[in-house]
Structure 1
C-alpha cells in the first residue's frame, strides 16, 4: 500500500467503497488522515465493514472541515447529473478528486531523484492488453515494475516505489476526470471511439477527460499517439501545435515516415534516421489481429523511451501469454478453436475481434449500448453464422437480416452448443467460435469477467480440458 501524505489529522470523505474506495480509505488512514467513508449501496457497505472500514453517513456529516472528497470512478461526477455529495462538496468549496490524484500527490512528495517512472495508458479499446504487455516486457527485462490502476490492483494498493521503479497504469476516462497533477513520463493514447457518453455528456467531454493524460508533461516526456482514427489524429495535431512533450506516432495499417508501425504482419521502428523491422507479429500468438498490432507498437514506442532495446523487447513480446477475456484462446475441439473476447462490450471492440479471423461462428448479445452493431457491416462476410443471446438478440437479428444467418440461442450455454454443432459439421477449414458480445453483460451476468469465466468453463467442460 502507498500511504497518502498531506492530510494528517484532517477530514477526508471517501464516496464509493468498491476496490478503489476501500484502498483509498486505507491509504489515507495510513497517511494520518481522518476518513469519513460511505457508499449508497447497502450490500457494498456490508462488504466494506467486513473489510474493516468504519462508515459515516455523509448525509449527516459536517462538511465545514472536510478537505477533500475522494470519489470512486463509478460515482457520477457531472453526468447524467452530479451525485448529491459532489454537489455538497461544491457548496463547501471542497475539492473533488480520485485515487489517481492521491497517488500523484504522494509521488510528488518524494525527492526528484527518487520518483518512479510512470507510464499511463488510455484509449477506448486496448488499454488493458497494452498495460499488461508493457508490464510483462519490463519484468522480462529485470525492471522493478508495478501494474495497476483500472486493471488489477487499485493504484494505492500497489507497493511503494523503490529506486528505479516503473508504474504502468491503465487510466480510464472516469479516472482521468478526477486528476489534476498526475505526471506521466510516457502517456499513451491508443484510440478514441464513441463510448461512455452517459458519463461525459458527449464526445467532446469524453475526449477532454482522456486528454488530461498529457496535462503535466514536459520536454523530457513522451506522448505515444495512435493515429488510425480521426479523433486521435486530431489529438496528434493538437499536441504538435502546442504540446511541450516529445511525440511518437504509432499505426497498425499505415507506414510512417517517423514513428512505430505495423504493416504486412511485421513491426517496424522508424523513430530514428533509418527504418528497420523489429518483429514478425505472427511470432506473438497471444496477440492476434490488427488491434493487437497497435498495442504492440504502443508498448514498443513507450519502452524505447524508458531505455529498453529492441533485442530486449522482441522475445518478451513473443512470450506474452495474453489477457483473460481479450481474445483469449480457450481451447480447441479437433479443428475448432474457441476464443473468449467477453471484454468486447461495444461494437468497436467487437470489430477488432471480427477483423482477426475468418470462418467465424459468432456469439453476440447482452444489454445493448448506443449504436447497436450496424457499424460492423464490413465484417459480416467473415461471419459464417451468429448465435444471439440476451436482451439485444432481437435487435441484432434485425441488423444482421439477410447478411448473416443467425439463430436465437437465448443463453450462452445454448449458443456454445449450437455453434459447436454447426462448426463441426461445416467442413470449413479452421472455424473459430468467438464470444465477442458487442454488449454489456448485466442482463445475464454480474460483469464481463463473469460472462467470460462462464464461457471458458463451458467450453473446457466440452473439450475435456480441466
Structure 2
C-alpha cells in the first residue's frame, strides 16, 4: 500500500467503492486523512464497511467540510452528464481528483523524481504496460505495475528512488489527474473510443495529450492524425519527444520493419531488437507495443542485451490474443480485451481461417471498418446486444449464426471448426464490443471463454 500522507489531517469525500475506490480510501486513511465514502450500490457499501471504512450518503453531508472529492474513474465527470457528486463538489468549490492524482502528490512529497512511467492509448496500452514491466523486471529492477491494469495504484508499494512504477492510464483516469508529470509518458495511438464519456473526439484526444504534455520524456506513436499532431505540438514547445512509427521518419524515435525494431537519433539508425519467433508479440500492432517498450527501457538506461532478453521471454497478456488451447488442429484464442473494432482488427490481421465470436455492448461505428478482413473469416458467431447490427454489416459477406450467449457460440464454433478442412482453424473470441451487456468486465468474459473451452472433450489447455 501507498499511504497518502500528503492528505493527512484533511477531510475528503470519496465516491465509488469498487476495487480502486476501497484501495484509495484505505490508503488515505493510512495516511491520516478523514474519509467519508459512498456508492450508489449497497453491496459496495457493505464491502467498504467490512474493510473498516466510514460511509454515509454524501447527499446529506456538509460539503464545506471537504477539501476535495476523490472520484472513481468509472463515474461520469462530464458526459453524458456529470454525476450528482460532481455537481455538489463544484457548488462547494472543491477540487475533484482521482487515485492516480493522489499517487502523484505523494510521489512529489516523499520521493520527487522517483521513476514513474505512465502509458496510454486507445489500443495496446495494457500489452505495452505488461511488456515494459516484464522487461524491467527481467533486468533486475524493482517494478510496481498497476492503474488501469492489475492492482489499483495506491495498493502498490510507495514511490522510491530505486523503484519504478509502470502505470496504465485510461482517459477517465487522466481526466482526474491534473498534476500528472511522469518521468516517461507513452501515447501509443488515438482512435475513436469512449465518446459517450468525453463528448467529442477533440475532447478525448485533448485528455490523452495531457499524459505526454507533462512528461520529462514523451514517447508518441505518430501513425494516426491526432497523435501526430500532439507530437508536433510537443516538439514545437521544446519538449523531449521520441516518435513511434511503422516508417522511418526524420527526427529522434523508433520504427519497425516486419519483426525488426530500429532506433534513429539524428542521422544515425541502429537495430535494437528483433521479434522474430516471439509468439506473444506477433503482428504489426505488437511491433508498435514492443517499440514503445524498447523506447521506455532505453530511456531508463537498460542496455540492448537486457532489452532483447526481456522481449524474448515475455509470456503475453491475458485476454489479449491469448492462445488458450488446442483441440486437434484448432487453436482457441482469447482476445476478450478487444472492446472496439480497431483492437479486433489487430487480431484479424494475425490469423487466417477465423471462426469469429463477437458482440456485446457496441461502440460507435460498429464493425464496418473491419470489412477488408471479412475474407479471413470462415463464419461469425454473434452474441449480446450488438447481434442484429453486426448481422446487417456481415450480411452477404460472412456466414452468420446468432448465438446470443457465449456458451452457445463456443460450442457452435468448435463444432464448425472440427468439421472444416482448413489446416489450422482459429476459434477467436474478439468481441469488438464492451462486455457490459452480459459481463461486468472483459476479464470475466475472457475467463468464461476459457472455462467453456476447458470443458470441451479432448481439449489441450495452454498453461
Q: Which runs of 4+ in 1 moved over 3 A?
A: 463-466
1:418 is displaced (CA, Å) by 2.0
Quickly say closer, same or farther: Cα 1:282–1:419, change in 2 above 3 A.
Answer: farther
Q: 1:391 aligns with which of 379, 385, 393?
A: 385
Tell me what 1:375 maps to: 369
Aligned length: 459
8 Å CA contact 2:253, 2:264 repeated in 1: yes
- Residue-by-residue CA offset, 1:31-84 (whole Å, 9 max, x unaligned): 111111111111211122122212122111111121111111011111111111
Distance in structure 2 (CA, Å) of the matches to 1:396 and 1:323: 27
Q: Are 2:248 and 1:255 aligned? A: yes
Unaligned runs of 5+ in 2: none
Distance in structure 2 (CA, Å) of the matches to 1:374 and 1:464: 33
8 Å CA contact 2:327, 2:460 repeated in 1: no
Unaligned runs of 5+ in 1: none
Secondary structure of the structure 1 residue equivalent to 2:414 = helix
1:248 is displaced (CA, Å) by 0.9
Structure-1-length-normalised TM-score = 0.95
Tell me what 1:49 maps to: 49
Where does 1:255-294 land on structure 2 (aligned, <5 Å)? 255-257=248-250, 258-271=252-265, 273-294=267-288
Where does 1:13-412 land on structure 2 (aligned, <5 Å)? 13-110=13-110, 112=112, 115-217=113-215, 221-242=216-237, 244-251=238-245, 253-257=246-250, 258-271=252-265, 273-412=267-406
1:314 is displaced (CA, Å) by 0.7
Distance in structure 2 (CA, Å) of the matches to 1:440 and 1:7: 35
8 Å CA contact 2:111, 2:159 repeated in 1: no
- Residue-by-residue CA offset, 1:12-44 (whole Å, 9 max, x unaligned): 111111111111111111111111111111121
Structure-2-length-normalised TM-score = 0.96
- Residue-by-residue CA offset, 1:245-289 (whole Å, 9 max, x unaligned): 3111112x3233442112122222224653233333232211221
Secondary structure of the structure 2 residue equivalent to 1:6 = helix
1:417 is displaced (CA, Å) by 2.2
Which range is displaced more, 172-181 or 269-278?
Answer: 269-278
8 Å CA contact 1:248, 1:271 repeated in 2: no
Tell me what 1:418 maps to: 412
Distance in structure 2 (CA, Å) of the matches to 1:287 and 1:17: 35
8 Å CA contact 1:366, 1:441 repeated in 2: yes
Distance in structure 1 (CA, Å) of the matches to 2:168 and 2:205: 16
Quickly say closer, same or farther: Cα 1:82–1:323, change in 2 above 3 A.
Answer: same
Tell me what 2:432 maps to: 438
Distance in structure 2 (CA, Å) of the matches to 1:56 and 1:398: 48
8 Å CA contact 1:11, 1:66 repeated in 2: yes
8 Å CA contact 1:285, 1:318 repeated in 2: no
Secondary structure of the structure 2 residue equivalent to 1:40 = coil
8 Å CA contact 2:104, 2:179 repeated in 1: yes
1:111 is displaced (CA, Å) by 5.2
- Residue-by-residue CA offset, 1:379-402 (whole Å, 9 max, x unaligned): 112112111112211211110111
8 Å CA contact 1:77, 1:83 repeated in 2: yes
8 Å CA contact 2:380, 2:398 repeated in 1: yes
Secondary structure of the structure 2 residue equivalent to 1:145 = strand
Secondary structure of the structure 2 residue equivalent to 1:59 = helix
Aligned Cα root-mean-square deviation (Å): 1.5
Distance in structure 1 (CA, Å) of the matches to 2:226 and 2:185: 17
